[in-house]
Amino acid sequence: MTAALDPLKGTNNDPLMSGRHGAAVTPSDTNDLPHVTSSLIVAVGTGGTGITVVYADDGDGNAANQTTFIPLTPGTYQLYVQVRRVMATGTTLGTGGGVSASW
């Protein structure tokens, strides 16, 4: 498993910076994203309940990753969060839902 790159670790923890790159996210219980995010754009469709993430600093150096569930109702959201993984378990996006990352 490769850990997400975080070029700002230890320098700037402000997630409100503008992203210069983006990509669609496929939730995974085992693989980190290629880069720690500055934000996520989350579309929750019918039947969706939210996403489960691992924040950038949660689980560093530990055997277990601490997950956090973010409840969301159907709609589109920009979440200013620094995460290294969007979990498959616990993420329910519903019909037409999806996640994009910005960094």
Q: Domain coordinates of the chain in residue numbers?
A: 23-102
pLDDT confidence bin for 5, thresholds 50/70/90: confident
How far CA 103 is from CA of 10, 62, 93, 96, in Å, comes to: 16, 24, 21, 23
Please indicate whether residue 72 or residue 17 has the higher confidence score (pLDDT).
72
Query: Are the CB atoms for 70 and 20 separated by under 8 Å?
Result: no
- DSSP 8-state assignment for residue 35: B
71 Cβ contact partners less than 8 Å away, ≥ 6 residues apart: 49, 50
Question: What residue type is assigned to position 89 of the chain?
Answer: T
Distance CA 82, CA 32 (A): 12
pLDDT at residue 57, rounded to an integer? 81
Percent of the chain whose pLDDT exceeds 90? 67
pTM of the entire structure?
0.80
Mean pLDDT of the chain: 86
